[in-house]
Structure 1
């Protein structure tokens, strides 16, 4: 049957019929050949545009674990801080990872196995499954044991190999004997993991320097009763058939693809370090039997990392699909999230759907509610007497599950009702899965679902950015839009308003509906006396005294603030000072200006 399939497939294009039937594009060919079954177990290659596998040399796979995530999430890509594609139904049979754009990448280096000196062009490409219930855990005493599969291309700086690595997560007993499992534990942990590479070695691949990254693509396939990994360097495919050791076909729903460090050890995963200014646009395509776009989930599974962080725009489903694409770079500085919203300065709201509008009411407000386990609140205080119709954030509170974290002006950090002194550069990892980090003076709170809150203390006020761990999803509050429609806002009672709202509707109906009652406040650690008021009139940059407005506008332009944010920046600089302009530098424009371009 496999031979018949190969023959039929290879007959799809030959030079003889090229005139009436031109060859497929390289991308289409890669997608097709990755799903053509290999005739036997072993190593194979194929060359564009042929759809026939040919036997190839097998080499030894590196005897190194590529460990699962462990410990606190970093502020760079990897060890749980990543973006993955989750299919809306069924199971993934094939996932394809590639790079739509590789910009300013001139060098990369990293240690082998998270130890020793950095080696130029040492990295891995990984297509990782989620953790899932597996029959391979049958011998484990731990009911929470899970299977995990990694499709890996490993480049050690002089040569490359593609192979599959299998894991039993928290097997917590002696690993199954006689079938090649290796025992593994993280330093300081009593949990026992089991890992092994596929039998028969790895398919040999010529050295791929990091400058060739744009031409590389990695595919993991678990369809047809088996599994295989395929690395493409453009016109050549290198494939290795696996052992189907954890039965991923019955549990693969989420795919993580990225470039990472070369292996790890009991201390964690290694890091692939790129040159300054490097930027990648990563695409993860899923094949699962449907055509709907995947969900974006802000999570990752491998412990390996790179030194990039998330840039803009936020991850979005993109064609050809079903697929998801996102940006990572050395200057991104963003926490992992699948949709982002923010309130900055004197308060300029930017919703998850991309609506920008000014909201100058005073009091405690619900910024975002996402399901039963994630919400964010803010306390707005008046700019009176100088600016009576403006307000700024003075406190931010979030609830993630049963954990509450509040940042008061000062700044002062309160976790679950207790004051905490968090040194710069340190992370608190709570039993609930919530991490609280102070980095560069910014408080970053994340949960196991990828939701995040980023609080940036400024002189006299706080900026806040809210990241949603799964997208699309329903977000309610000042930063939500019903049905994620950028042209609509929704009151807490379900009343829907079209944008722009009248001044009365914005404050008396929409805004007042999202005031937080004292019994439900997350902001009490910052004080229980809360003033409540609404502005008497709109307050935009055009309402400033002309000389004040022109000086502030000049400051914003000199800072390089994008045109779309000049109005908000001008108002902030006038009210809060010149340093407020920095917040808007490089900020992507809103999808819609809800202020009517005032």
Structure 2
């Protein structure tokens, strides 16, 4: 990589050359061409970054499935994919077995993760991997989970990007469902293979509600929701429409972003970008009343459903960035890694340190490696 100083000098020399001042002074055509290429690459990178920011803040105007290509910020409606059969596993803060508390390994996921705590209600969040090194392969595997074994989609490049909210007690959502009390949870998901065979890479939103025993017995699950109750836990979930997307190899994580946004009386939107392409799926915010209660965000790359694990080759190192917007520009705080995060899926990376920053893009950033 050229140093910043050298790049700056070459760019300056190129500019003068173009003006016809120094071209006769010994600057070769190959050096000038290389400098021109570097300027073009840097300009494209900056334009792409700006486009990512713009597309995130300009969600589709209605619910459904959409696609946009750089440099356009106009969403085009596309046909939605097959109804998602995906079901995530839920992490609960305390897990007991007949032999006592179940201890978890210090790898990311299933209650060991960093989350961004916003000072007030979150409006949007976006996760990315600004640095990826040593990554040559990934495979999804099933691992011990909840006293048994996970039940995910396994194999090469089977993983999900998940942007998860906190599990929250929301009087607004509970009242809408006809419950006196409940907890709610929402996930923004990119899955490399949402429905098994044949593979269907998709981006979508998964909504959960956990009613009390009495409410579950008297009301049941909300109309149109799936019953996922078991082991003494009452749970219901429903998926949004799903937008078909490319299956991206894990080695290309550095080119991906996943964002979630909510708007009271509007829509909740998940947006997935793969380089110069963007894909989104939206649902009414009334589905889970997210705009009234979202305060924590978790982002990571983990297994593909059912509590499974994304296993990376030894020597993998990722830097994870999670930008959080509460509408006021406030700086979030790092929470965790112990007993933090809400996903039940995992990866085999060990968490490093986490730092929070403010400025124009408030965020947390942490490392994970093996």
Which of the residues 32, 47, 50 maps onto 2:54?
32
Aligned residue number for residue 107 of structure 1:
137
- Is residue 106–residue 351 contact of structure 2 (8 Å, CA) maintained in 1? no
Describe how 1:120-519 pairs up with structure 2 within 5 A.
120-134=156-170, 135-138=172-175, 143=181, 145-156=182-193, 158-172=199-213, 173-174=216-217, 176=220, 179-186=223-230, 189-198=231-240, 201-223=241-263, 225-244=266-285, 245-264=287-306, 269-298=307-336, 299-311=340-352, 313-317=353-357, 321-330=361-370
SS class of match (2:154): strand
Task: Write out per-residue CA displacement over residues 364-421 of structure 1, whole angstroms, 9 at most, x where no aligned residue.
Answer: xxxxxxxxxxxxxxxxxxxxxxxxxxxxxxxxxxxxxxxxxxxxxxxxxxxxxxxxxx
* TM-score normalised over the length of structure 2: 0.74
Q: Quick one: distance in 1 between partners of 2:350 and 2:232? A: 31
Q: Quick one: distance in 2 between partners of 1:274 and 1:165? A: 25
Q: Quick one: distance in 2 between partners of 1:286 and 1:231? A: 16
Q: Quick one: distance in 2 between partners of 1:160 and 1:116? A: 15
Shift of 1:65: 1.6
How many pairs were matched up? 298
Q: Quick one: distance in 2 between partners of 1:226 and 1:60? A: 21
Q: Quick one: distance in 1 between partners of 2:360 and 2:319? A: 15
Counterparts in 2 of 1:277 and 1:318: CA distance versus 1, 3 Å: farther
Counterparts in 2 of 1:46 and 1:233: CA distance versus 1, 3 Å: same
SS class of match (2:53): helix
SS class of match (1:242): strand
Question: Greater relative contact order: 1 or 2 (C-alpha under 8 angstroms, separation 6 or more)?
Answer: 2
Shift of 1:131: 1.6
- Is residue 61–residue 163 contact of structure 1 (8 Å, CA) maintained in 2? no
Q: Quick one: distance in 2 between partners of 1:178 and 1:316? A: 38
- Is residue 229–residue 242 contact of structure 1 (8 Å, CA) maintained in 2? no
Q: Quick one: distance in 1 between partners of 2:178 and 2:263? A: 26
- Is residue 157–residue 250 contact of structure 2 (8 Å, CA) maintained in 1? yes
- Is residue 110–residue 121 contact of structure 1 (8 Å, CA) maintained in 2? yes
Q: Quick one: distance in 1 between partners of 2:314 and 2:68? A: 36
Runs of 5+ unmatched residues, structure 2: 1-42, 96-101, 143-148
Q: Quick one: distance in 2 between partners of 1:77 and 1:140? A: 36
- Is residue 43–residue 56 contact of structure 1 (8 Å, CA) maintained in 2? yes
- Is residue 94–residue 223 contact of structure 1 (8 Å, CA) maintained in 2? no
Shift of 1:323: 0.6
Aligned residue number for residue 3 of structure 1:
none
SS class of match (1:284): strand
Describe how 1:68-87 pairs up with structure 2 within 5 A.
68-70=90-92, 71=95, 72=102, 73-87=104-118
Task: Write out per-residue CA displacement over residues 530-572 of structure 1, whole angstroms, 9 at most, x where no aligned residue.
Answer: xxxxxxxxxxxxxxxxxxxxxxxxxxxxxxxxxxxxxxxxxxx
Q: Quick one: distance in 2 between partners of 1:105 and 1:319? A: 31
Q: Quick one: distance in 2 between partners of 1:116 and 1:203? A: 21
Counterparts in 2 of 1:117 and 1:58: CA distance versus 1, 3 Å: closer
Shift of 1:178: 6.4
Aligned residue number for residue 376 of structure 1:
none
Aligned residue number for residue 6 of structure 2:
none
Task: Write out per-residue CA displacement over residues 426-461 of structure 1, whole angstroms, 9 at most, x where no aligned residue.
Answer: xxxxxxxxxxxxxxxxxxxxxxxxxxxxxxxxxxxx
Counterparts in 2 of 1:80 and 1:178: CA distance versus 1, 3 Å: closer
Counterparts in 2 of 1:180 and 1:202: CA distance versus 1, 3 Å: same
- Is residue 61–residue 161 contact of structure 1 (8 Å, CA) maintained in 2? no
Runs of 5+ unmatched residues, structure 1: 1-21, 331-598
Structure with higher Rg: it is 1
SS class of match (1:239): strand
Shift of 1:159: 4.2
Q: Quick one: distance in 2 between partners of 1:192 and 1:97? A: 30
C-alpha RMSD of the superposition: 2.4
- Is residue 171–residue 193 contact of structure 1 (8 Å, CA) maintained in 2? no
